[in-house]
Chains A and B, each alone.
Chain A
Amino acid sequence: MSVKELYRGIYELDIDDRKMLASKNIMPGLSVYGERLIVDDGIEYRQWDPSRSKLGAMLLKNFEIPIEPDSVVLYLGAASGTTVSHVSDILTDGLVYAVEFSPRTMRELIQLCEQRPNIIPILADANKPQSYAHIVEKVDVIFQDVAQPNQAEIAAINSKYFLDEQGQLLLSIKSRSIDTTASPKKIFKEEVRKLESDFDIEFEVLQRKELDPFHEDHLGLVARMFVDEE
């Protein structure tokens, strides 16, 4: 077995010629959603399933992921915390604000938050950043995975309130929650155009790629706010 560090805190394990994505478990012995725990050289890793995590899929699609161990991340659409748990693994010295709208899934997320010291749960609607502006500080990264028809707008308003000028936006756009019948390619193009010019802050898209075969009809996207250089 060999271990290769892809980014800080993100590893590629090679077990009998089968490669898998993993993060270093900050709570050794605890598996969050039934994922495999692998111990190598005294360090425990948690397998990261890219078909259950948009961020995992983005990593395997060679995105430049700007999350550092001391980053502060705003995670919109945390669901029951599958991906959040891996982000929490990476952030050994950072913090993730996990926003989720559904009380049903928040029930599971809270149990994760109680296990891990670096996740702050927020039960709120990502459409209304003002409703959690009293909690969230300036963040280095916004990761967004919400199944809403106005995904670009949600990303823009949250960036406006919370994203640091140097920060980056990671976005997973699900075409089916915008229009189930139109072609995904068209929708992606339209969403990127919206991000670049529709809102009062503009974004510069650094990288974009579809997330198949891990997630169908999803576009992964990394962007940063467009700042005028005086």
Chain B
Amino acid sequence: MEFTTWFGKLQLDAEGELEDYSLFDKNPQKLAVLAVELQENVQSVPLKRPDLREAALESGFVELDEDYDILLRDVCIRAAKSQISQTDTDDSRIIQAVEALDDIDKNVNELSERLFEWYGRYFPELDMTGEKLARFVSAYGSRANVPEDHELFEKSSQSMGAEISFADEELLRALANNICSLYDTRRYIENYINTSMGSVAPNLCNITGASLAARLMSMAGSLQKLAAFPSSTVQVIGANRALFKHLRSRAPSPKHGIIFNNPVIKNAPWWQRGKIARTLASKISLAARTDFYSGELEPSIKEALEKKLEHIRSTNPNPPRREPKPQSKGKGGKKTHRGKRKGGKR
């Protein structure tokens, strides 16, 4: 029986005793490459086998205990480092991009609000928020700089706002410039996600659109994980709180998580949403698996989805009668939960 170790190939007899061996070259870099290969192509390991350290000493690979430690440590650090550098894959890059997008959204909103409050002291009549406001402040600074032919000239010259000092104007302009550049970065990232999702997960994009596809991937952790999820999980990714409330107490199960952002669910009447969410989730699973294992665009998934959606719409045109309350959108769960606890105390 043969057993390959990090330092060489061992020939073992039936009792697991060392019969013969051939040693590898004692070069740490080469040994590290071999160690990673051995880890990826898992060998069958005999339970009865000699202790690695003893075998290395007996075969003369190393002479001293300490040499074994030093060399093995060197090899393993090199191996782990090379494994880490291999983990930068297309989907991991997209996931970073999606997360950067969320961070930018959060920060840009906060900064825009601050700009709105701050600049509002000097030009309260200005009816702008968000990117428009930032672009305006970045272009003109003080309202005194608005030119005569600008549509806001009248408003700005009659404003009740305070006079702005030079120092404050510079500060506000700098803030506005930063906000503008964040908006620009956001657009770059969006474009990046749209183009690279098309090549990483063509089917997923076809079903859900690039941004939702990227978001699903980011929440699952990778395309591989998303492909491995059952579609019932895909259906409720992003609805963690509602899901655990459902599992812990009597709250109703969530019908949809992040996939709610897809227009086919969002724009559907409430009584069709659950059915549509299930169908969509099942097609997302199919698409993710096709993307991960073949990578070819498969238009039949989208066609099947459309057909099924049409079927759902035509068979459920009217709201069901039995349910008296139409807004059973997860909030019902909260009520049931509270009601139950109160009932217990009485």
Contact = CB atoms under 8 A, between A and B. Distances in A.
A107 B53 contact: no
A120 B72 CA distance: 7
Nearest to A120: B76
B80 A121 contact: yes
Contacts of A121: 76-77, 80
Interface string A128-141: 11111111111000
Given A103-B83, A110-B77, A124 B47 contact: no
Interface in B298-340: none
Contacts of B14: none
A180 interface: yes
Given A107-B84, A135-B6, A113 B42 contact: no
B162 interface: no
B51 A137 contact: yes
A181 B251 CA distance: 14
B141 to A, nearest CB: 44
A106 to B, nearest CB: 6
A53 to B, nearest CB: 22
A158 to B, nearest CB: 12
B43 A130 contact: yes
A120 B47 contact: no
Contacts of A122: 76, 80
A175 interface: no
A161 B51 CA distance: 11
A106 B45 contact: no
Contacts of A119: 73
Contacts of B43: 130, 133-134
B27 interface: no
Contacts of B83: 103, 106, 123
B45 A133 contact: yes
B244 interface: yes
B85 to A, nearest CB: 9
A114 interface: yes
B39 A131 contact: yes
A24 to B, nearest CB: 20
Interface bin, chain B: 20 to 34
Contacts of B42: 128, 130-131
A1 to B, nearest CB: 35
A107 B82 CA distance: 11
A129 B42 CA distance: 9
B87 interface: yes
A173 interface: no
B5 interface: yes
B38 interface: yes
A136 B80 contact: no
Given A113-B73, A118-B69, A130 B45 contact: yes
Contacts of A129: 45
A154 B84 CA distance: 23
13 contacts: A123-B83, A130-B43, A132-B39, A134-B3, A134-B4, A134-B5, A134-B35, A136-B52, A137-B51, A138-B52, A161-B45, A161-B47, A180-B247
Given A106-B84, A130-B42, A131-B39, 18 more contacts: A106-B80, A110-B77, A110-B80, A119-B73, A120-B72, A121-B76, A121-B77, A123-B84, A128-B42, A131-B38, A133-B45, A134-B4, A134-B39, A134-B43, A134-B52, A137-B52, A138-B51, A180-B248
Interface of A: 95, 103, 106-107, 110, 113-114, 117-124, 128-138, 160-161, 180-181
